Structure 1
Amino acid sequence: MSAMLERYQALIASGELRRDPQQRAAAEVLAGVQDQLEKNGNNHNGFLKRLIKKSEPVRGAYLWGGVGRGKSMLMDLFHETLEITAKRRVHFHAFMIEVHQRIREERKKELGDPIPPVAAALAAEIRCLAFDEMVVNNSADAMIMSRLFRALIVDQGVTVVTTSNRPPHDLYKDGLNREHFLPFIDLISSRLEIVELNGPTDYRLDRIGDMATWHTPIGPQATAQVREAFFRLTDFKPEDAANVPTGELDLGGNRKLFVPKSLKGVAVFSFKRLCAEARGASDYLAIARAYHTVIIVGIPIMGPDMRNEAARFVTLIDALYENRVKLFATAAAEPENLYPAGDGAFEFERTVSRLKEMQSDEYLALGHGEPG
């Protein structure tokens, strides 16, 4: 039995994991990738590397499924127990930021197409590249990925293992110039084992347990609660809080939204960023589609002079609710006391109702984007 499967079995025996046939099948696929990589040995340089590249590269894997199904946990087990040195585990967003930087540096040399030398430089460092949460939210990444990953996988023989909330054919769905991205989908489908890890059980709900989602009043205690929820949902180590990745969400029309904290489908925003700035329904829909959980901090009590902010907040909550996004918040008051008077106060009552429902166990158990 491979080291990964041994570790997986140990977690089940200790009670840390439940028996799950789909999860076990996914673990077996990853263990197979691991075995093939280890048979080729640790040396990825020089003569041996050239010999290996003449043969078919080790086939990678693409694990996809809903939130909380154990994809990140399996990826961690795969990487930790993979006994080669030329490996790397990285969040997909952080990797693409690095790729853009490398491309900029290559372009400064004015030696032509920057993609092949970037791929070659990456391949010189790694034989296995493990990603978490592959997602494509902007046209710049979509344009680069098809060519870069073909160079990495086909030309350089790098094995790619990744997780995603979406099947390959839904990546960058309805995106600008998506036709240029289709070769990447074909590449994934032909070169990686596609493994569905989808089912009714959201294991991540166990991690937040009976934690409340709405925290009032605003203050250190409320902040600590949503901070704890973030770390539980993302598996990020609290002691490394200063290094939580940021994000940038493509809103269309050459507009971007900076996301102060963005990791594994969880985003953190301030109320001011979302509702005090001029935003429309399409902006909020982009957020709701990109993130399965949104944390909003600093929701104030809104008086009549904040009718614009209140209207935007209504639109925001509608988008989150309709896409079954989990909401955590720090607020100055309970939902029914957020906007007691002013234009649209009557309509705000529907938002209050939705905010109450979004705190229920039944709502939290729904999958992202799943009809109620």
Structure 2
Amino acid sequence: MLRSPMQRTLLACNCVHSVLRSSHCRHLSHNPPDSPSAAYHRAVSDGKIKMDATQWAMISHFDSLCERLTAYEKKTRFPYSLLKNPAPHGIYLHGPVGCGKTILMDMFYDTCTYPKKCRTHFHSFMRNIHEGLHVLRTSSPRSRPFDPIPAVAKTVSSESKLLCFDEFQVTDIADAMILKRLFENLFASGVVMVATSNRKPDDLYKDGLQRVNFIPFIGLLKKQCLILDMVSHIDYRHEMLMAEGGSGPSYYFVYGETPNLDEKLANWFTKLAEEDGHHGPPVSITMNVYARLVELPCTGNRVMMSSFADLCNKPLGAADYLSLASHFHTVILTQVPELGLSHRTSLKRFTQLIDVLYDKKVRLVIGAHLPIRSLIRHEQRSSSELLEQNRQLIDDLNLSTNNHAAENISLFSSAEDIFASERTVSRLEEMCSSHYWCSAGPSRINPS
């Protein structure tokens, strides 16, 4: 059915609104400090974090951005004032896993009084962008050329003028090909971006397919954001684990090391569900996610238990995991196997699941077949295997299947997989610690 430009835009708006509605603000207290540096000092004084010279050097830049945003907001309250007052530069903070990037950005977000702000995981944001673009393309007359990116960007900028992205990473060619045009439109509309990443800008989408078309975005990113390198050799998530005794995270259990582990995890579920007000046997529910039904056979109020196979071997994605994280504050995951790159689809789903649960501060209990640092096996796949795996993508893009193309796919896939798996292991260590459980919600019981 053909629709008018206004109808098409409204359809796209509905898709993009969902990611902005799912944005969240995590305050350190009910009376947040008036600056990121004040929030940092309070967290140190309360014993929540340790004073770190590198983090302290970074926090001053967030203080400065808060001040510039406040001044900018006052100057742009009147019509057409955006034309005379360009938006301040944002911040792109990159560094190794566990060095505190997300904590610093959250302190900035929680204390910044700039209106129309949104904090979200970059992957979730881009998924909703693509949904909005798809709606506009499929509802547009084929005989009439139509670029949907400006319309989607306009929707985003009307909802939020400050975008804060956790885990800015580019692993999908579909993202890589639209980022420059998308963010050109966002920046032109006065949007300010703050992002954390494990990658410096020049390494984004490194060795990816058609990277020559992505490189202009790197220049745009450097022009619009202050690039901060959080040089650190400390993984605070791993240090947190060592502080708890070093024998393993408190809420991560290994089959073979813990007798009758499935029974123990079932007891965890029963006690946690009872503490949440559920009494009786587990309840099977069906969640509707974008017209797709997701079966959850073991729930009790806002506590759920599921096997790895049910959440990561089935065709679920970020939207499903976001729905779970919005509904449940505690997840018990059983029968997690050894994960290798040869089972890349399940591994990617597991990585997405952990990213979403971490971002939403969901408490996690895991029963796995290997210790946490041995859970993900790095294995080098041959170029021919990767070429076959990406055959459909290569055909869609009309790329050559010569040895050089296969080599580039191999380099890119292996590097990105290793980056993602290192982040997942680091986050698992934090999420299964007692410290995380206290910060994610009151540690109400300690089942035996």
TM-score (norm 2): 0.53
Mapped to 1, the partners of 2:139 and 2:75 lie a distance apart of 30
> What's the CA shift for 1:33?
1.1
Residue 125 of structure 1 corresponds to: 159
Give unmatched runs, 5+ long, in structure 2: 1-32, 270-304, 306-324, 334-340, 359-365, 370-374, 387-412, 430-448
Q: What does residue range 1-372 of structure 1 map to in structure 2 within 5 Å?
A: 3-41=35-73, 48=78, 50-110=80-140, 112-153=146-187, 155-208=188-241, 209=244, 210=246, 211-212=248-249, 215-217=254-256, 219=262, 221=264, 239-240=328-329, 259-262=349-352, 263-264=354-355, 280=381, 285=414, 287-294=417-424
Shift of the 77–97 alpha-carbon distance from structure 1 to 2, 3 Å rule, reads same
Q: Does the 8 Å contact 1:2/1:35 carry over to 2?
A: no
Mapped to 1, the partners of 2:74 and 2:159 lie a distance apart of 12
Q: Does the 8 Å contact 1:266/1:294 carry over to 2?
A: no
Q: Does the 8 Å contact 1:63/1:162 carry over to 2?
A: yes
Q: Does the 8 Å contact 1:133/1:165 carry over to 2?
A: yes
Q: Once the two structures are superposed, what CA deviation does each residue of 1:314-339 show, in whole Å capped at 9, x if it has no partner? A: xxxxxxxxxxx8998xxxxxxxxxxx
> What's the CA shift for 1:166?
0.8
Shift of the 222–49 alpha-carbon distance from structure 1 to 2, 3 Å rule, reads farther
Q: Does the 8 Å contact 2:122/2:168 carry over to 1?
A: yes
> What's the CA shift for 1:26?
1.1
Mapped to 2, the partners of 1:237 and 1:16 lie a distance apart of 25
SS at match of 1:89: strand
What amino acid is the match of 1:86?
Answer: K
Mapped to 2, the partners of 1:3 and 1:56 lie a distance apart of 23
Determine what percentage of the aligned residue pairs are the same residue.
29
Mapped to 2, the partners of 1:240 and 1:53 lie a distance apart of 44
Mapped to 1, the partners of 2:101 and 2:83 lie a distance apart of 29
Shift of the 43–237 alpha-carbon distance from structure 1 to 2, 3 Å rule, reads farther
What amino acid is the match of 2:349?
Answer: V
Q: Does the 8 Å contact 1:130/1:160 carry over to 2?
A: yes
Q: Does the 8 Å contact 1:53/1:156 carry over to 2?
A: no
Shift of the 190–10 alpha-carbon distance from structure 1 to 2, 3 Å rule, reads same
> What's the CA shift for 1:175?
0.3
Mapped to 1, the partners of 2:210 and 2:368 lie a distance apart of 32
Q: Does the 8 Å contact 1:65/1:166 carry over to 2?
A: yes
Shift of the 122–39 alpha-carbon distance from structure 1 to 2, 3 Å rule, reads same
> What's the CA shift for 1:17?
2.1
> What's the CA shift for 1:58?
1.1
Mapped to 1, the partners of 2:172 and 2:368 lie a distance apart of 22
> What's the CA shift for 1:97?
0.6
Mapped to 1, the partners of 2:74 and 2:147 lie a distance apart of 31
Q: Does the 8 Å contact 2:164/2:195 carry over to 1?
A: yes
Mapped to 2, the partners of 1:6 and 1:137 lie a distance apart of 36
> What's the CA shift for 1:32?
1.1
Mapped to 2, the partners of 1:181 and 1:164 lie a distance apart of 17
Shift of the 9–187 alpha-carbon distance from structure 1 to 2, 3 Å rule, reads same
Shift of the 140–15 alpha-carbon distance from structure 1 to 2, 3 Å rule, reads same
What amino acid is the match of 1:168?
Answer: P
What amino acid is the match of 1:183?
Answer: P
Shift of the 74–132 alpha-carbon distance from structure 1 to 2, 3 Å rule, reads same
Q: What do you get for the CA RMSD once the two structures are aligned?
A: 3.8
What amino acid is the match of 2:236?
Answer: Y
TM-score (norm 1): 0.63
> What's the CA shift for 1:174?
0.4
> What's the CA shift for 1:147?
1.1
Q: Does the 8 Å contact 1:63/1:163 carry over to 2?
A: yes
Q: Once the two structures are superposed, what CA deviation does each residue of 1:100-122 show, in whole Å capped at 9, x if it has no partner? A: 11111221342610111111111
Mapped to 1, the partners of 2:356 and 2:420 lie a distance apart of 7
Shift of the 222–172 alpha-carbon distance from structure 1 to 2, 3 Å rule, reads farther
> What's the CA shift for 1:240?
3.4
> What's the CA shift for 1:92?
0.5
